[in-house]
């Protein structure tokens, strides 16, 4: 049987771009999947959503935009007018590539035509190229793809490489399409995907084995699953009301979420994004081997960097541990890490994700002998909850988590059973520049450069950026306001006179070498525009530095 041409997948992408209705998107996906032979289903599903490999797979393309556009520039010869047209009209790099291949290609596509499986194998080869000469090999493989690509295929090759499909199909809609294609219950497909973490495998089993194959899905050791996520709440009263008072509160730690898999002496640690970070955390591996009594287990928690007194360090110090691949032993001594566990998903043959939170916590306590657990409370009143949250802040942490006692664990879902209540800081800052958006925000200034006023010089040094907090209507209004204040442009950045004051919410102030101010806000978002305030009323850089220093009343600080 001949392989399915890649152009069919590209045409599917064009069809998907033509509708926003969920049912129509799912129907298009189902019709496409039904016509594929089994071996093509997994790669086709992954490529359709711009995901070459499952999230738990450690491979990555590691292809720069410069390399991609180097190949495109080699194969096209656009006049300046066309370059300007593409720059003005293209909403993403994929569309730009398609326009250039359509209007300015030097030569027609070469044989043989691209196929879905062939493209997928080329991407595998690109990802697996390493060592001396790997850059040249990657670029040669890219060139082989683009030489054979039609304009529409070029568009979707770039989209896959950038993981920016923009056709409205997210994971949930793809699961709907898979269920429709296999004529099975959607909840069975979703459940299998939660446990396997691979849309390609889920689709293959659905279309070849049906409901019976999906019902065999279970957790697999050393294949991490997506973490359960929390919604945000402002007040403890909301948690009490939502859960009828049946809640547990846990410290919300300023660390990195980790999922730990153990089978006998084999231990692997995975990050929130399912990356394997075991090599960076040998001390955590040793602690798990020493204190976790279960022979087989999957447990979750946070790794927190601490100072010599055991006080939590700012998050940026922990990231040094995660990024370090050489001299790890020295870094372990320089930046110690504490492990705080809060959930058990699997223990010695018991699948626990469907069990209530209380049962999972009891299993975790038993497996760990009460050690390395996050601080937890079951408050009877709102006053007790608020007192516990204040202790969390004074212990150097960023807030608390509220968890419904009888709730199950839902991998990858931001459900209603967990709420995060963070300690939030509010400051008035000035917008001094903004970046043009792309995709849905194409044509808007939507990434704002936030500045504090230097009380000594009168200048406005940048202390952070954010694109969060405004509605679409407010983005449009802000774009008009800032363009009227424009002073200069540099690339995609518009620099403006410092006149617009905004209230900014954030969780922490960090040291930063990125900004001349030396400081950066963490998790910044705009709460509102302060039309009642002038730039002279904004927070000063000196005040921000005082706030930075005050953080260390409770947090640790590396000397």
Torsion of CA 348, 352, 356, 359, to 10 degrees: 10
Residue 559 has pLDDT above 60, yes or no: no
Which two three-digit tokens encode residue 181?
Answer: 């294609």
Angle between helices 65-75 and 151-162 (to 10 degrees): 170
Residue 303 has pLDDT above 60, yes or no: yes
SS3 61: coil
Which two three-digit tokens encode residue 326?
Answer: 């050489």
User: Which phi and psi (to 5°) does residue 310 adopt?
Assistant: 85, 10
Reported confidence tier of residue 437, pLDDT bands at 50, 70, 90: confident
SS3 309: coil
pLDDT tens digit sequence for 245-261: 999 999 999 888 999 99
Contact (Cβ atoms closer than 8 angstroms) between residue 156 and residue 15: no
DSSP state string for 81-132: HHHHHHHHH-SSHHHHHHHHHHHHBSSPPPSSPPBHHHHHHHHHHHHH--ST
Contact (Cβ atoms closer than 8 angstroms) between residue 89 and residue 63: no
User: Which phi and psi (to 5°) does residue 302 adopt?
Assistant: -130, 140
Q: What is the pLDDT of residue 282?
A: 94
Choose the weakest-confidence range: 11-25, 189-203, 311-325. 311-325
Residue 558 has pLDDT above 70, yes or no: no
Contact (Cβ atoms closer than 8 angstroms) between residue 88 and residue 95: no
Phi-psi domain of 455 (left: phi exceeds 0; alpha: psi -120 through 50; beta: other):
alpha
Secondary structure string (H, E, C) spanning 218-249: CCCCCCCCCCCEEEECCCHHHHHHHHCCCEEE
Contact (Cβ atoms closer than 8 angstroms) between residue 432 and residue 490: no
User: Helices (H) and strands (E) in the chain — how many of each?
Assistant: 20, 18
**What is the C-alpha to C-alpha distance for residues 8 and 16, in angstroms, rounded to an integer?**
12
- Cβ-in-10-Å burial (0-12, 13-18, 19+) of 367 comes to buried
Per CATH, the number for 50-162 is 1.10.3260.10
Residue 469 has pLDDT above 90, yes or no: no
- Give the chain's mean pLDDT: 91
CA distances from 105 to 113, 153, 443 (A): 17, 13, 27
Per CATH, the number for 229-420 is 3.30.470.30
Structural element, H or E, at residue 173: helix 171-182
pLDDT tens digit sequence for 170-184: 899 999 999 999 999
Share of the chain above pLDDT 90, in %: 66
Which segment, 51-55, 320-324, 333-337, is predicted with the most confidence on average? 51-55
Q: Are strands 229-232 and 414-422 parallel, antiparallel or unpaired?
A: parallel
**What is the C-alpha to C-alpha distance for residues 204 and 210, in angstroms, rounded to an integer?**
9
Q: What is the pLDDT of residue 422?
A: 75
Active-site annotation holder among 252, 403, 422, 555:
252
Choose the weakest-confidence range: 240-249, 306-315, 376-385, 496-505. 306-315
Contact (Cβ atoms closer than 8 angstroms) between residue 458 and residue 468: no
Which two three-digit tokens encode residue 9?
Answer: 């997948």
**What is the C-alpha to C-alpha distance for residues 261 and 428, in angstroms, rounded to an integer?**
45
Q: What is the pLDDT of residue 1?
A: 61
Mean pLDDT of 24-46: 98
Is 252 one of the annotated active-site residues of the chain? Answer: yes
Torsion of CA 524, 525, 531, 532, to 10 degrees: -60
Residue 69 has pLDDT above 90, yes or no: yes
DSSP state letter for 278? G
Cα 214 to its chain centre, rounded Å, is 27
pLDDT tens digit sequence for 401-430: 999 999 999 998 887 899 988 777 788 899
Residues in the chain, how many?
559
Residue 175's CB is within 10 A of a number of other CB atoms, namely: 22
What are the domain boundaries of the chain?
50-162, 229-420, 425-553
Mean pLDDT of 367-379: 97
Contact (Cβ atoms closer than 8 angstroms) between residue 504 and residue 525: yes
Sheet with 266-271: strands ordered across: 266-271, 256-263, 296-305, 337-347, 350-351
Mean pLDDT of 86-96: 90
**What is the C-alpha to C-alpha distance for residues 517 and 509, in angstroms, rounded to an integer?**
12
**What is the C-alpha to C-alpha distance for residues 450 and 460, in angstroms, rounded to an integer?**
9
Class in CATH terms, 425-553: mainly beta
Q: What is the pLDDT of residue 42?
A: 98
User: Which phi and psi (to 5°) does residue 324 adopt?
Assistant: -75, 125
Structural element, H or E, at residue 449: strand 445-451
Are 229-420 and 425-553 the same fold in CATH? no
Q: Across the strands, what pairs with 268?
A: 261
**What is the C-alpha to C-alpha distance for residues 233 and 237, in angstroms, rounded to an integer?**
9
Q: What is the pLDDT of residue 119?
A: 98
Reported confidence tier of residue 96, pLDDT bands at 50, 70, 90: very high
Contact (Cβ atoms closer than 8 angstroms) between residue 431 and residue 484: no
Reported confidence tier of residue 508, pLDDT bands at 50, 70, 90: confident
Structural element, H or E, at residue 410: none
SS3 352: coil
Q: What is the pLDDT of residue 471?
A: 85
**What is the C-alpha to C-alpha distance for residues 60 and 435, in angstroms, rounded to an integer?**
28
Reported confidence tier of residue 553, pLDDT bands at 50, 70, 90: low
Note the pTM of the prediction, 2 decimals: 0.78
Contact (Cβ atoms closer than 8 angstroms) between residue 55 and residue 274: yes
CA distances from 204 to 1, 36, 213 (A): 18, 10, 10
Q: Which residue has the tokens 């294609």?
A: 181
Choose the weakest-confidence range: 24-28, 190-194, 363-367, 510-514. 510-514
């Amino acid at each position: 049987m001949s392989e399915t041409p890649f152009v069919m997948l590209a045409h599917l992408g064009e069809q998907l771009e033509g509708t926003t209705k969920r049912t129509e998107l799912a129907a298009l996906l189902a019709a496409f999947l039904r016509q594929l032979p089994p071996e093509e289903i997994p790669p086709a599903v992954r490529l359709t959503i711009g995901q070459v490999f499952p999230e738990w797979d450690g491979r990555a393309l590691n292809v720069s935009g410069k390399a991609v556009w180097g190949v495109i520039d080699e194969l096209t010869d656009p006049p300046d007018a066309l370059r300007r047209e593409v720059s003005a009209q293209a909403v993403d790099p994929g569309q730009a590539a398609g326009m250039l291949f359509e209007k300015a290609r030097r030569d027609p596509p070469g044989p043989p035509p691209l196929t879905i499986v062939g493209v997928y194998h080329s991407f595998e080869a690109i990802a697996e190229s390493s060592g001396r000469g790997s850059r040249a090999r990657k670029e040669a493989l890219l060139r082989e793809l683009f030489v054979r690509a039609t304009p529409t295929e070029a568009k979707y090759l770039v989209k896959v490489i950038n993981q920016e499909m923009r056709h409205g199909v997210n994971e949930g809609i793809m699961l709907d399409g898979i269920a429709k294609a296999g004529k099975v219950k959607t909840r069975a497909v979703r459940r299998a995907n939660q446990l396997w973490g691979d849309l390609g495998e889920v689709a293959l089993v659905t279309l070849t084995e049906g409901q019976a194959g999906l019902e065999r899905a279970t957790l697999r050791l050393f294949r991490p699953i997506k973490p359960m996520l929390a919604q945000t709440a402002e007040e403890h009263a909301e948690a009490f009301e939502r859960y009828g008072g049946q809640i547990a509160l846990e410290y919300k730690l300023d660390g990195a979420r980790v999922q730990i898999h153990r089978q006998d002496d084999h231990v692997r640690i995975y990050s929130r994004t399912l990356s394997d970070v075991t090599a960076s955390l040998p001390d955590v591996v040793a602690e798990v081997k020493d204190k976790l009594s279960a022979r087989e287990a999957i447990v979750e928690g946070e790794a927190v960097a601490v100072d010599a007194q055991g006080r939590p360090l700012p998050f940026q110090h922990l990231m040094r541990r995660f990024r370090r691949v050489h001299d790890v032993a020295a870094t372990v001594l320089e930046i110690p890490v504490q492990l705080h566990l809060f959930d058990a998903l699997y223990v010695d043959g018991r699948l626990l994700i469907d069990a209530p939170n209380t049962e999972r916590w009891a299993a975790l306590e038993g497996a760990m002998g009460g050690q390395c657990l996050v601080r937890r409370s079951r408050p009877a009143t709102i006053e007790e909850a608020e007192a516990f949250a204040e202790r969390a802040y004074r212990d150097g942490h960023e807030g608390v988590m509220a968890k419904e006692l009888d709730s199950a664990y839902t991998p990858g879902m931001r459900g209603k059973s967990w709420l995060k209540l963070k300690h939030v800081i509010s400051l008035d800052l000035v917008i001094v520049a903004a970046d043009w958006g792309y995709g849905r925000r194409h044509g808007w200034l939507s990434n704002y450069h936030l500045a504090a006023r230097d009380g000594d010089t009168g200048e406005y040094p940048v202390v952070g950026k954010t694109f969060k907090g405004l509605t679409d209507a407010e983005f449009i209004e802000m774009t008009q306001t800032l363009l009227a204040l424009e002073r200069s442009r540099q690339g995609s950045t518009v620099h403006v006179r410092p006149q617009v004051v905004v209230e900014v919410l954030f969780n922490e102030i960090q040291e930063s070498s990125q900004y001349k101010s030396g400081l950066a806000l963490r998790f910044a978002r705009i709460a509102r525009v302060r039309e009642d305030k002038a730039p002279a009323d904004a927070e000063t850089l000196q005040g921000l530095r005082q706030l930075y220093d005050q953080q260390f009343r409770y947090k640790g600080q590396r000397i």
